[in-house]
Copies of this chain bind each other. A is one copy, B any other.
Amino acid sequence: MAGNSFGQLFRVTTFGESHGLALGAVVDGCPPGLEISEADLQGDLDRRKPGTSRYTTPRREPDEVKILSGVFEGKTTGTSIGLLIENTDQRSKDYSDIKDVFRPGHADYTYHQKYGQRDYRGGGRSSARETAMRVAAGAIAKKYLKQMHGIELTGFLSQLGPIKAEAFDAAQIEQNPFFFPDAGKLEALDQYMRDLKKEGNSIGAKVQVIARNVPVGLGEPVFDRLDADIAHAMMGINAVKGVEIGDGFAVVEQKGSEHRDEMTPAGFASNHAGGILGGISSGQDIVVSLGLKPTSSITVPGKSINTEGEAIEMITKGRHDPCVGIRAVPIAEAMLALVLMDHLLRHRAQNQGVLTQTPQLR
Contacts and interface: CB of A to CB of B under 8 A. Distances in A.
Given A78-B351, A252-B161, A263-B305, A113 B216 contact: yes
A11 interface: yes
A292 to B, nearest CB: 7
B78 A265 contact: no
Contact of A68 (B15, B263, B304): B15
Interface residues of A, number: 160
Given A109-B263, A222-B125, A278-B126, A32 B116 contact: yes
Interface in A275-334: 276-283, 291-298, 300, 302-305, 309-311
**Complex copy number for this chain:** 4
Interface string A240-271: 11111111111111111111111111000100
A20 B250 CA distance: 34
A317 to B, nearest CB: 14
A235 interface: yes
Contacts of A247: 241, 293
Given A66-B21, A116-B358, A351-B116, A28 B5 contact: yes
Nearest to A78: B115
B352 A80 contact: no
A112 interface: yes
